[in-house]
Structure 1
Amino acid sequence: MHLVPRLRSSLAVMKNPTYTGENRCVPCTLLNLVLAVVLSVTVVAVLSGTGTALGAPAGVATFVAATALIYFRGYLVPGTPTLTKRYVPERVLAAFDKAPERTEWVETDPRELLFSLGVVVDDPAMDDLVLDPAFVDAWNRSIEVHRTEESELRRSLARLSGTGPRDLEFRDGPHVFALETSDAHLANWPSQAACIADAAGAVVLPEWDSDWDRRPVAVRADLLGVLRLFLERCPTCDGHVSLSQDVVESCCRRRDVAAATCRDCDARLFEMDVDPAMG
């Protein structure tokens, strides 16, 4: 009577969550599928060479077993991440990387655009670029609202993504905070704190940018992302934010990044790939 739910539950238990589901590494999975094909073809060739008629059925059975193992456990061959790092070209790994993709500037460099809007100003005393104090005050007030009221967070993200607040779903995974609907993936942030900062900024920036509603979503996202570079306090715990150069290691690749991170809760607020040779 309850055979199907029990079967689903049994299959779910067999899965290794470390390397399956949202944590599945696409390059490693593809490499293992290739190895499964090679193994199956080898079985067919070996058995066919003995004159038996079992070559083809055995090859099919081998491939089915191998793909089932990859589906449930993540890997067919132990040590796959090491093999992938060593033998798969970096440009291929980058194409499948789980980090949010960097978009091309549709209009102009977002730092220049924020400067032209007066959001970012030159501070001669610090000999550096800083946020306009009036913008900082408004942004901090907005962050406080979005940190404490999830309904406001949903409304701001809905306006930003063009969806209904009730349709939005949050997924908090390893090194990623995602915004989704039941049938679409909308956006990634490195943490919930970064998401709150962007939602709060999307409320304040239109007061400074008369063209905000006409800008492509990609440009608005880039502007909000650059704003996070100027955060001094964490949007979730109010801890101090520091800038540093770090190495981010996924399942099968390493990236050098410039990062803004909360010292207290370790939330990643901003992350940008850098050339290690420039350090």
Structure 2
Amino acid sequence: MSTFRTIKRPEYTGENRCWLCTVVNVLLLGIASIAVAVVSPPVAVAVAALGAAGIWLRGYLVPYTPEFAPRLVAVLPRDPFHDEPRAEAGSLADGLADDAAIDRSVDGEAVLATLVETGIVEVDEEADQLFLSRPFERRWHEEMADLAAASDRDLADATAAVVTEAADRSIVTSRGRTHVVLEGESGAATDETWLQRPVAVAEVAAVRALTDAGVPQEVRRLAAEPLCTFLETCPECEEELVEGAEHGCCGTPRSATRAPRTVLRCPSCRVQFALFE
């Protein structure tokens, strides 16, 4: 059993499996098996069986696939096995090019300190854990329920009301997914913020609840994405959220000094809500 656990790599299998890497490794295994079959068919069968078992248990067969594969896939316009457009996944914290309401000099520790000072986040020092205060959590979920039931247009209007620098807003459906798109004054593609509908629901609701709680304006939008780490279910479909490797080819490039990044996402909507650094 200990040997089995040593061989198995859950960070690259199950929900975390990168199917692009799996397919590439299967093709390479097939080529190797055919080459061996020329010399010894029985050995080729053994190579194919052991290789397939390795891919199933580990997620890949070629050594260091998680190190080099993400860099290879990064040059593609999109990952064919993850249908989320790379340029279309955003947060209210991204802001627009001329968005004066976002102070990018404020770091995560300062945001957390403000949330603790205002009673939004409570600290259990003995357990070394953070919790949302019940009044805020209740208010946040009420706002999410209202926005989840709203039409796409009403949700876009609510999002634009939060991002005061937005010159225009629109609804874009891409590969079956609905996005709220905010445009800046310049109208350039680089001056846009794309939010998938469930993310817009969660983050706009968070800003509204933070406003009611008296949190300073300069912190509200910056706090919206970190607060999503406290979500347990998707505000859109109510599916239980799961933690897994960041979307893309085996997640992000890995090295001996950098661990794989973990995200909180909805397995049904395939939407990423938070990134754990």
- The reply to whether residue 113 of structure 1 matches residue 108 of structure 2 is no
Shift of 1:83: 11
Structure 2 CA distance for partners of 1:207 and 1:239, relative to 1, 3 Å: same
Which of residues 177, 201, 207 in structure 2 aligns to 1:202?
207
Q: Which runs of 5+ in 1 are unaligned?
A: 1-81, 90-96, 275-279
Can you list the C-alpha shifts for 1:208-247, whole angstroms capped at 9, x where unaligned?
23521xx2xxx54321010111111211011112233x04
Structure 2 CA distance for partners of 1:171 and 1:254, relative to 1, 3 Å: farther
Structure 2 CA distance for partners of 1:177 and 1:164, relative to 1, 3 Å: closer
CA–CA separation in structure 1 for the residues paired with 2:123 and 2:157: 33
CA–CA separation in structure 2 for the residues paired with 1:119 and 1:204: 10
Q: Describe how 1:91-110 pairs up with structure 2 within 5 A.
A: 98=87, 100=90, 105-108=104-107, 109=109, 110=111
Give the aligned partner of residue 140 of structure 2.
139
Shift of 1:249: 2.2
Structure 2 CA distance for partners of 1:220 and 1:171, relative to 1, 3 Å: farther
Shift of 1:143: 0.4
Letter matched to residue 155 of structure 2: L
CA–CA separation in structure 1 for the residues paired with 2:166 and 2:246: 37
Structure 2 CA distance for partners of 1:132 and 1:152, relative to 1, 3 Å: farther
Can you list the C-alpha shifts for 1:129-151, whole angstroms capped at 9, x where unaligned?
01111001101110011011135
CA–CA separation in structure 2 for the residues paired with 1:125 and 1:85: 41
Contact 1:145–1:152 (8 Å) recurs in 2? no
Give the aligned partner of residue 162 of structure 1.
164
Larger radius of gyration: 1
- Aligned identity (percent) is 17
Which of residues 253, 270, 275 in structure 2 aligns to 1:271?
275
CA–CA separation in structure 1 for the residues paired with 2:267 and 2:115: 27
Give the aligned partner of residue 182 of structure 2.
180
Structure 2 CA distance for partners of 1:171 and 1:111, relative to 1, 3 Å: farther
Structure 2 CA distance for partners of 1:124 and 1:177, relative to 1, 3 Å: same
Structure 2 CA distance for partners of 1:163 and 1:153, relative to 1, 3 Å: farther
Give the aligned partner of residue 198 of structure 2.
193
TM-score by length of 1: 0.51
Give the aligned partner of residue 97 of structure 2.
none
Shift of 1:196: 0.7
Letter matched to residue 186 of structure 1: E
Letter matched to residue 129 of structure 1: L
Can you list the C-alpha shifts for 1:140-182, whole angstroms capped at 9, x where unaligned?
11001101113542332112222679x4112344799451349
Letter matched to residue 231 of structure 1: L
Give the aligned partner of residue 33 of structure 1.
none
CA–CA separation in structure 1 for the residues paired with 2:229 and 2:137: 13
Contact 2:182–2:194 (8 Å) recurs in 1? no
- The total of aligned residue pairs comes to 176
- The reply to whether residue 224 of structure 1 matches residue 224 of structure 2 is yes
CA–CA separation in structure 2 for the residues paired with 1:172 and 1:114: 34
Contact 1:143–1:196 (8 Å) recurs in 2? yes
CA–CA separation in structure 2 for the residues paired with 1:204 and 1:259: 24
Q: Secondary structure at the match of 1:226?
A: helix
CA–CA separation in structure 1 for the residues paired with 2:117 and 2:171: 34
Contact 2:144–2:201 (8 Å) recurs in 1? yes
Letter matched to residue 188 of structure 1: W
